[in-house]
Amino acid sequence: MNVHKDISYLQMCYALAEKAFGWTSPNPYVGAVIVKNGVIIGHGYHERPGKAHAEAVALAKAGSRANKATAYINLEPCVHWGRTPPCIDKIISAQLKRIVVSSIDPNPLVNGKGIEMMKQAGIQVSLGLLEEKNKRINEAYIKYIQYEIPFITLKTALSLDGKTATKTYASKWISSSQTRKYMHLIRGEHDAIMVGINTILKDDPRLTVRHPAWAGKTITRVILDSNLRIPLQSKVLKTLSKGEVVIFTLKTSPLEKKDALQKKGVKVIPIVPKNNKIDIKKALAWLGKNQISSVLVEGGAELHTHMLESKTADKMIISVSPKLIGGKGAPCFYQGKGAETIKKSLKLKKMNTFKIGDDIIIQGYL
């Protein structure tokens, strides 16, 4: 065994898996490479739900040459029937000599069973190489499969002094056009976009995926609207062909407005209140049950603050532009009660930063 070669082939698996970003939900991102005598004889990745899994694609390309070969895969092969047959049967039938797997599948239907079956079949199994990389690219899948709720990413654009808009609530545009294009690219990697009703009332956004990399991609638009104040002529309601619209509201919201929205094809979901507001955890549970595994929360400040205070957010993507807005009345990203001491303040972990033009992009985990 050569660890450096193993890493190189696994990196190819990840490069293949990343081709499916934004398309496989609620399934994981998986790539596979099959090697024999130093030559790649098969490779593949899982493209869409219902299509062949990465291992099946790679084995089909390898054919009979897979006998005594080594397979590389970033996630443990499945052992159960879903929309496709279990991959473990194909792997065992191919009589592979060795398989290198980054990580066990946390799905209770799998969760080590595939590893054990391969060992029992006489296949040498190496487990754990580049495991952290698998946890990163499959972060949404891992949370969704373990807790049945979506992975939540908060996204915002800030000025250098932490403002999200001016004192008159003007926010177009804090970030540059290049940064906005990048954020549209990020938007397409998610199953859903979430905003509060104030964002709809102030900006009237479409909340669609418009980056050229996502041709044909639809995305669920989620709106928190306690009293159904959304105007029936809102742009988001005119773009239902670009993705369904789900509005979470309180049970006390007007029935006539609810009926009017439902006639347009909108899903209106009444939620039992918590402190006279929509219970965000119940809303997320509903999304999870409806196979939404990742949500990009785009605003506004009240919703972002609620997510942070309720500890329901997992990740943040912040663009900081070299502009000073000022003004005590200008809104900031994180409001609420605030920390009493610096020690009690929230801190991002596993951060990485980069620049797009003059803007600084900060990504980190909560």
The catalytic site residues sit at 55
CB within 8 Å of 266: residues ≥ 6 apart: 237, 240, 244, 245, 246, 247
**Which residue bears the tokens 């897979």?**
66
What is the residue type of 85? P
What is the residue type of 236? V
CB within 8 Å of 255: residues ≥ 6 apart: none
Please report, to the nearest 10 degrees, the dihedral formed by the alpha carbons of residues 267, 270, 274, 280 taken in order: -20
Q: Residue 163 carries which DSSP code?
A: B
Cross-strand pairs, 195: 223, 299
**Separation CA 46–CA 162 (nearest Å):** 41
- Asked whether 325 and 159 are in contact (CB, 8 A), the reply is yes
How many helices and strands, by DSSP H and E, does the chain display? 11, 16
**Separation CA 268–CA 261 (nearest Å):** 7
**Separation CA 20–CA 28 (nearest Å):** 9
